[in-house]
Amino acid sequence: MTAGAIDFGPGFIAVLAAVGLLALVVCFLIGSISPATLLASLFGKDVRGSGSGNPGATNAGRILGVKWGVLVGVLDVLKGFVPCWFLAGFMGVTASAVCGLAVVLGHMFSPLLKWRGGKGVATTLGVLLAVSPWIALIALVVFGLGLATLKRVGEASVVTCLVLVVVGVLQGLGVVDVARLGATGVGWVVVILALLVLARHKRNILIGLERRRRAVHRP
């Protein structure tokens, strides 16, 4: 091996794997911190026992007031954005996106909340802003249009996730480079993120379908 060359032997690979695992664990723990729960506790309230029971921005807004709900939303976005933005410069965009997945999983299944958590919409947006601003822009536009049309945050989130699944698949297959990165791996992470958020909105989906069924059959 020549002087100054990097040894890509088993030792290097082991260190690289350890660093990657550590990054995933740290990101999961960051995601598990719940701004909604912490802020509510300052007011002697429990977002998990009031309203929808979801420790997210929408429910925090119902219980604590709009300005506090907005603050929770901003903090949840930053929770996804900051670690992914920081790691992207060291690990690359695709690896950073995978770490973003760990943040969202921590948010959804927080060990600090007995493995319960929020639906992950704002945190997912933060991850997208860090790894692919263009895909994040698409998500924001679709969400805005969906909210203006459907008047419900949950249903607008569902529509946004369905669009993200399509965008992610196209990015993953290399059909289009929406992310403007040439990184197909980011597309598949986007698909997984969107499917996770959709799974957390199962109740919203069922309620929305039932509401529309009644509207169709209303005399």
pLDDT digit string (tens) for 60-119? Answer: 999 999 999 999 999 999 999 999 999 988 888 999 999 999 999 999 999 999 898 999
Q: Which residues pair with 116 in a beta bridge?
A: 110
CB 181 within 8 A of CB 95: no
What is the three-class DSSP state of 116? strand
Report the distance separating Cα 50 and Cα 36, nearest Å: 12
pLDDT tens for 109-160 read: 999 998 989 999 999 999 999 999 999 999 999 999 999 998 888 889 999 9
Of the two residues 204 and 133, the one the predictor is more confident about is 133
Report the distance separating Cα 123 and Cα 101, nearest Å: 10
Express as a percent the part of the chain with pLDDT over 90.
56
Rounded to two decimals, the pTM is 0.87
Residue 114 CA to chain centroid, in angstroms?
20
Average confidence (pLDDT) over 18-41 = 94
pLDDT for res 12 = 64
Radius of gyration of the chain (CA): 19
Report the distance separating Cα 120 and Cα 31, nearest Å: 10
Sign of CA dihedral 113, 116, 120, 124: positive
Pinpoint the alpha helices (H) of the chain.
10-32, 35-42, 57-64, 66-91, 93-108, 121-131, 133-150, 153-173, 184-200, 202-217
pLDDT for res 219 = 58
pLDDT of residue 196 exceeding 50:
yes
Of the two residues 183 and 166, the one the predictor is more confident about is 166
Residue 105 CA to chain centroid, in angstroms?
8
Mean pLDDT of the chain: 87
pLDDT of residue 1 exceeding 60:
no
What is the three-class DSSP state of 110? strand
CB 165 within 8 A of CB 187: no
Residue 116 CA to chain centroid, in angstroms?
15
Express as a percent the part of the chain with pLDDT over 70.
86
What is the three-class DSSP state of 183? coil
pLDDT for res 179 = 61
